Amino acid sequence: MNLAAKDIRHNVGRFGLTTIGIGMLLMVVMGMGGIYRGIEADATLLIDEVGADIWVVQKDTRGPFAEISRVPSNLLYRLEAVQGLSNAREFVFHTVQREHDGRALRIAIIGLSWPRDKGAWLVLTEGRPLLQNHYEMIADESLGLRLGEKVQLAKESYEVVGITSSMMSAAGDGLGFVTVADAQAIQFDTSGEALRLERAARKIRGEDSEIGANMPILLDQANRPSMEIPALSRPQISAVMASVEAGADIDQVMENLSGWSDVSVFTRQGQRDLLLKGSVEKVRQQIGLFRILLTIIAAIIMALILYTLTLDKIHTIALLKLVGAPNSKILGLIMQESLFIGVLGYGIAYLLGQRIFPNFPRRVILINDDLVQLGLIVIVISVVASFLGIWKAMRVSPNEALS
């Protein structure tokens, strides 16, 4: 006869509520690990999907994802001349937040190097890649935009021509893919009044300079848009990325590029490390601390519940000792009940998580290694939590059965 099973049937209501409570607590622990895995996957998703082996960014920065980076657009042509590199592309990355249909719309804008990159590498659930240089966008489904819908960004409307899935930035913002020219237009958008004030200030600065005094005709250029003034450079981009040709030595390419004093160069793995060891690392530490605290709390709750259940069985335990039941039998009773609560609670946590986690605003990714690790932890805390009840049971005197 299994005493644990008999006792559980006798107190099925209490055991059921206890197990559900432990299961929901374990679901939170499980979800926190999945949230970190989701953040990690989102942070490195674009780096992995874009397929670039080399990232060239502003000198002494950790851009373009971990830090703001600005490089001249003509850097693209310098990379094309490097032996061993191919498929060099411009890259622009920034985040905007606008009002759309009465709600806040936050988009992580990615500028694709048109016409070399039209977004054909993206996995689309609907629509098509970009087919023209302006006013088209590929949007992630998390943004809530429909195919064919138009979004007002800067001074233009952009039509959603493609929909992707699970393409988000490290901050959890849905990605929107446009051409580099459109990304720059969105990033450097300025109101008309600000433009007029800048042109007036530019003309005043010219009048106060020696060049303006000697060549007044140059002051007429001050009233023209900045991009039309030959002396001013094109808007800067966030980075330039490139692929290493088949058979080329990436270490040799990196050594050649390391001599460029105006930029910093990172490999694909280097970019991953910058993200994972930066802001994502702090998130990992914080989530890890909460997981440890919740695990300790779960162990304490289980210990107190088992201790309470043991107190309810003091007379029964004393009677078992009186009739000669060995201590191992009593120990097994409490240990089995503890393991039953832990294992069943873990199962409830997993089943509830499968239904609840997909509705979270950020991805929750459960991997087998994390699930196995948590399962082992549950077994350990179940055993440890039973010690308090066992300690109390071992102190019960057989004479208490006669009182």
Q: Where are the domains of the chain?
A: 3-42+280-402, 60-188+235-261, 190-233
Residue 174 and residue 139 in contact, taking contact as beta carbons nearer than 8 Å: yes
How many other CB atoms sit within 10 Å of the CB of residue 193? 8
Q: How far is the C-alpha of 19 from the C-alpha of 16, rounded, in Å?
A: 5
Write out pLDDT tens, residues 83-129: 888 888 999 998 888 888 888 889 999 999 888 888 888 889 999 99
> In the prediction, which pLDDT does 206 show?
65
What would the pLDDT profile of 243-284 be if each residue is shown by its tens digit? 998 888 888 888 888 888 888 999 888 888 888 887 778 888
Sign, CA torsion 129/130/136/142: positive
Give the three-class secondary structure for 177.
strand
Average pLDDT of the chain to the nearest whole number: 81
pTM check: above 0.85: no
Which long-range contacts (C-beta less than 8 Å, at least 24 apart) are formed by 299-304?
Answer: 299/381, 299/384, 299/385, 300/385, 301/21, 301/22, 301/25, 302/22, 302/338, 302/341, 302/342, 302/381, 302/382, 302/385, 303/384, 303/385, 303/386, 303/387, 303/388, 303/389, 304/388
- Give the chain's length: 403
Task: Outline where DSSP puts E strands in 221-312.
Answer: 239-244, 263-267
Tokens of 46: 């674009």
Q: Coil, helix or strand for 209?
A: coil
Helix (H, G, I), strand (E, B) or coil at 403: coil
- Better pLDDT: 300 or 179: 179
Beta strands in 144-290 (DSSP E): 150-153, 156-164, 174-179, 239-244, 263-267
Residue 25 has pLDDT above 80, yes or no: yes
199-240 residue pLDDT tens = 676 666 666 666 655 566 666 665 666 555 555 556 788 899
> Rounded to whole angstroms, how far apart are CA atoms 55 and 4?
62
pLDDT at 176: 93
Query: What's the CA gap between 348 and 400, in Å, rounded?
Result: 38
Band the pLDDT of 5: cuts 50, 70, 90: low
Pair 311, 392: CB distance under 8 Å: yes
User: In this structure, what token pair is assigned to residue 258?
Assistant: 């390391």
Average pLDDT over residues 130-157: 90
**What is the model's pLDDT at position 1?**
43
Q: Report residue 14 as tokens.
A: 């209490």
Q: Mean pLDDT throughout 289-318?
A: 78
Question: Is residue 29 within 8 Å of residue 299, measured between CB atoms?
Answer: no
The rounded distance, in Å, linking the Cα atoms of 273 and 45 is 13
Confidence at residue 140, expressed as pLDDT on a 0 to 100 scale:
92
Instruction: Give the residue-averaged pLDDT of 7-18.
Output: 71
202-206, long-range: CB < 8 A, 24+ apart: none
Helix (H) or strand (E) holding 106, with range, is strand 103-112
Cis preceding linkage at 115, omega within 30:
yes
Which comes out higher in pLDDT, residue 401 or 180? 180
- For the chain, the C-alpha Rg in angstroms (whole number) is 32
Structure-block tokens of residue 191: 């109101």
Using CA atoms, how far apart are residues 64 and 58, in angstroms rounded to an integer?
9
Task: Indicate the SS3 state at residue 243.
Answer: strand
Confidence of residue 347 (pLDDT cuts 50, 70, 90): very high
Q: How far is CA 292 from the centre of its chain?
A: 21
* Segment 317-332 mean pLDDT: 70
CA 206/CA 215 separation, integer angstroms:
10
The larger pLDDT score, comparing residue 22 to residue 196, is at 22
Q: How far is CA 201 from CA 130, 205, 231, in A?
A: 39, 6, 17
Residue 164 binned pLDDT confidence (cut-offs 50, 70, 90):
very high
User: Which of 21-25, 128-132, 139-143, 305-309 is the least confident region?
Assistant: 305-309
Name the β-bridge partners of 163.
126, 139
**Strand extents, DSSP E, 213-261:** 239-244
Q: What does the alpha-carbon distance between residue 371 and residue 383 come to, in Å, rounded to a whole number?
A: 19
CA 94 to chain centre: 16
Give the mean model confidence (pLDDT) for residues 27-42: 86
- CA 167 to CA 123: how far, in whole Å? 9
30 near 220, Cβ under 8 Å? no
pLDDT-above-70 percentage for the chain: 82
